[in-house]
Structure 1
């Protein structure tokens, strides 16, 4: 098929690569514009733009697709279908309708649960047992379109980063299956019941809330990794990349109970097992405490 690919972050790259490997003609790749990033604030193309350029694919990075000229250019590619994976821009009706078969989206949840921007993180934070990815026929509503194919996986202690990698590869394989015989995968309407929304993660949410119970705090640790949930001590933020729920003595939520960095929560405790200070490498709790003491009785 003649395909326009639309994606921006690393999650999208395996989908683009799978389309190329399957022999499809990717006539253009759309991505959000390059942005300044890193300590030097250099202008850096998105992972999708970088991969598309390496593959010799025509790249477009419009600020918006609401402009009639941008819509006309999109339609001029004369695509059979547009494949969308975490593109990050709203697609107007003129864009949705331009390809012969419309636009297919790789959405990282079991729709209608977790429509919206952060389905992987929200599934972990809510304590969902499983999640998955669906190939959705896009329409004007927010992730309301019918689903052609779906895959599932248990969450089972995985971090957001682990699930992102897993669902990206799963979604790529499902998309290739659908495109190999689209008539064999009819679009099925989403159920009316069970709709939930996954709003974008606010940076303020990533601060660990020790007033919550320990199970909830441990979900925060996994749901916000990467980049990492955090606490503050002595004026410094410390990221917690992994933690275990444990019992401990009573105390004020946020208080350090012992020399193993056991932290009291609203109910039970957590014990971080992998942490990171600013501009430092990842380390165990013991390694952190040798260079950055947080004595028992400290309040985080």
Structure 2
């Protein structure tokens, strides 16, 4: 098996940390660098150029195949509505710089995107080629970043995911764990449907894809979806978290989006189809409920 050299932009975030841990333990990864935004600002042209050049040189010297994974993102969905410039800098300009630099160095690029690029009015899982139509600044900035990657790097792939949670950073599952301790009851939205995705499972999927693209066996489809399988609502996920905690699930009560207004609109339906991922010969991720149990068993929320 050909060894890998990885650069993970956004390496101190929720997904980036899991990918870094997985890469460090993988025997086929000979070099892995996962800088946070303080070390590698993807909007800084010189910093991006230097980081990719170092990766390419390290790979060349060690006889490894280099791959860049962009896990950096501006993810404050509500804040983006009034912080438009910064959201587009990180989510669009950053991917553009990575794409053009990777293309110049001959390095494949995997770019992580989101279900929020879709309008959310569907009734079946979205395929990668379905029409997009983001309803928020966050979604529009992420779609712009996708286009920059596909336009700027011939060996660039976009991997959309959804409802990511994990041991690091803020996320819905962590919030539910905290609220279970703090509140007798809580209301959770039951009219938004998607797929919870454990960041550790997503990281494993990205590493499998990195292996493929490194040796020139990257999928013909350059936009893929990678989530855990199945779907639920935020209410369903909250009750599942309470189950894992051994708490009374009836303490979680359903409400509507209208009952819980947010600054940025959320898609009512954003389930992503994994068909293209499977068709590319990549391993489908396990069902979301099974993954949640595994995350708790692994101590992700201890």
TM-score category (smaller protein): 0.3 to 0.5
More strand by share: 1
Q: Which has the larger radius of gyration?
A: 1
More helix by share: 2
Using CA pairs under 8 Å that are at least 6 residues apart, name the structure with larger relative contact order, 1 or 2. Answer: 2
Relative to the length of structure 2, the TM-score reads 0.38
Relative to the length of structure 1, the TM-score reads 0.39
